[in-house]
Amino acid sequence: MSTSPISRIPRIGYGWDSHEFQPGVPLKIGGVTLPHHSGLAGHSDGDVLLHALTDALLGAIAAGDIGTYFPPSDPKWKGADSALFVREALRLVDEAGYQIGNLDSTLILAAPKIGPHAEAIQKNVAELLGIEPSRVSIKAKTPEGMGTDNAAIAHVAVLLCEISWP
């Protein structure tokens, strides 16, 4: 069995997260504040999409999960902007010699409707990742019959490609 590194192949990562709605906090999804009567409860800003993205990036390079780097027990992350988590995961991805090929995400929530906000979320996530919006897919579904009407769920898959130098 070879012990040589297999860094020449693309790597995929998958992440998911869920948070319950809570009145009195802003709703942030993909770094965009959406108009809604409730936000998402969480130790940080509760951005379910950016949390799932962070886990997908870390998973693709086998670097643990979001809680490894940003434990909810640490008060310094209370109310933190989840973009910080993504930036740290991106730093580790770059350090491992990879770059993002593309990202596919699905949000599951009863309200608000994501369609009117999907392009803004797509552009913000692409900017955060330093890639073109055409490489970021934002989809949404309703949780019909799942009993999760008071929560938001995000699933994210990422493809990482080896950084190639000229």
Band (11; pLDDT cuts 50, 70, 90): very high
Angle (CA) 104-107-111 rounded to 5° is 155
pLDDT of residue 79: 78
- Candidates 3.30.1330.50, 3.40.30.10, 3.40.50.720, 3.90.1150.10; CATH matching 11-162: 3.30.1330.50
Helix residue ranges per DSSP H, the chain: 48-60, 66-69, 83-95, 118-129
Report pTM.
0.92
Which residue in the block uniquely carries the two structure tokens 């990202």? 103
Q: Which tokens belong to 115?
A: 């369609």
Q: How far apart are CA 2 and CA 13, in angstroms?
A: 23
Q: What is the pLDDT of residues 46-71, one digit of tens each?
A: 999 999 999 999 999 999 999 998 88
The torsion defined by the Cα of 61, 66, 69 and 70, in degrees rounded to 10, comes to 160
Q: Which tokens belong to 149?
A: 């009407």
Q: What is the pLDDT of residues 99-135, one digit of tens each?
A: 999 999 999 999 999 999 999 999 999 999 999 999 9
CA distances from 67 to 86, 95, 123, 135 (A): 13, 20, 26, 27
Listed as own residue / partner, the contacts of 32-38 with beta carbons closer than 8 Å and 24 or more positions apart are 32/117, 32/120, 32/121, 32/124, 34/112, 34/117, 35/112, 36/111, 36/112
Every domain of the chain and the residues it spans = 11-162
Nearest alpha carbon to residue 57 among 86, 27, 81: 86
